[in-house]
Structure formats: structure tokens, C-alpha cells
Amino acid sequence: MKSRIIITGLFFLVVISLTNYTHAYQTEIGDGIFIFVQTTVRNSDGQLVAYLESSKFTDLNLEMLESFLDLETSRGEDPIVTIDEKEYQVIRRVTTKVFPTEDLVASTILSDNLDGQTILLARFAHDGYTVSTGDTLESMWTFIRPVS
């Protein structure tokens, strides 16, 4: 009986592992584009509920992301910095959402709207956390790309 439970458990572990396989993209400075996201959740009283940060993404649409960043940088001045004698443009944008109802958040997503369709640009999958009515989620996206 005990060995059947262990075998059954291993079977479900293997099946779940195979069906949930997701490739993660680790971004690094010098690889074309570096992306870093910091997400904070605060309750309706302004107290910190959660803080997450990452430079690893489960979904990354580099072609659409480049177009998005080109448009974003055309709207204002984003600083140029020198790292290891190479010039990089630093683009930082903040997104904010206030939750009107209780919810469960399991990823931090950057998307764009193209011809009325939502396009996923980058997704940072993380352990879920619950939010309550009035909680605020703020994500600061930092992009560093070489100056051409």
C-alpha cells in the first residue's frame, strides 16, 4: 500500500512538472536589453503588503518590446549612462492599479494595446498573493538597452 502511494505521488509530480514547463528568460546588461521590475502592494491604509523584484521573465516578446520602448522614448528624455565604457539608455516607467474587489495576483505583467488588442510584452510569474478592495499595486519597470 505504501509503495503504491509513493508511486502515485511520483506519477502526479512528473505529470504536473511536464505540463507546467515554462522557459524563463534571465535578462542581463549587455545582452541587448536588461529588464528589471519591482512590484509593491500596499493596503488601503498605505501599509506594505508585498514587495517583489526580478530580472527573470516567463514571457518576453522582444520584438514588440523594442517597438514599445522606441515609442516610449520618443515621448520624453530618458538618461544615457555609461557602464563598462559602453553607453546605455535607461527607461523607467511605473504602472499603478487600485483593486476595486478582492483578487489573487500571480504575475506582474507589462502589456501594450495595439489596434484594440492587448499584447503581452513581459511577464514575471511569482507566487500569488491576495489583495483586498482598495489595495494598490505599483510596478516600476526599468529597461536598460545599448545606445546604437
pLDDT for 11 equals 39
- Rg (C-alpha) for the chain, rounded Å, is 19
Confidence at residue 31, expressed as pLDDT on a 0 to 100 scale = 66
Residue appearing with cell numbers 523584484 = 53
User: What is the spatial distance between Cα 144 and Cα 33, in angstroms, rounded to a whole number?
Assistant: 6
Residue type, 98: V
How far is it, in rounded angstroms, from Cα 75 to Cα 143? 15
pLDDT reported for residue 30: 57
| DSSP E strand boundaries for 44-116 | 48-54, 56-57, 59-60, 80-83, 86-98, 103-114
Nearest alpha-carbon partner for 27 in 120, 121, 147, 139: 121
**pLDDT tens digits in sequence order for the chain, 148 residues long:** 554 544 444 333 333 333 344 556 666 665 678 888 999 999 999 999 989 888 888 888 888 888 888 888 888 789 999 888 889 899 999 989 999 999 888 788 888 888 888 888 888 877 778 889 999 999 999 999 888 7
Looking at residue 41, its pLDDT comes to 92
Q: Pairing mode, if any, of strands 34-42 and 117-131?
A: unpaired
Alpha-carbon gap, residue 85 to 79, rounded angstroms: 16
Report how far apart the first and last C-alpha atoms of the chain are (Å, whole number): 65
Distance CA 40, CA 46 (A): 11
CA angle 126, 130, 132 (to 5 degrees): 145
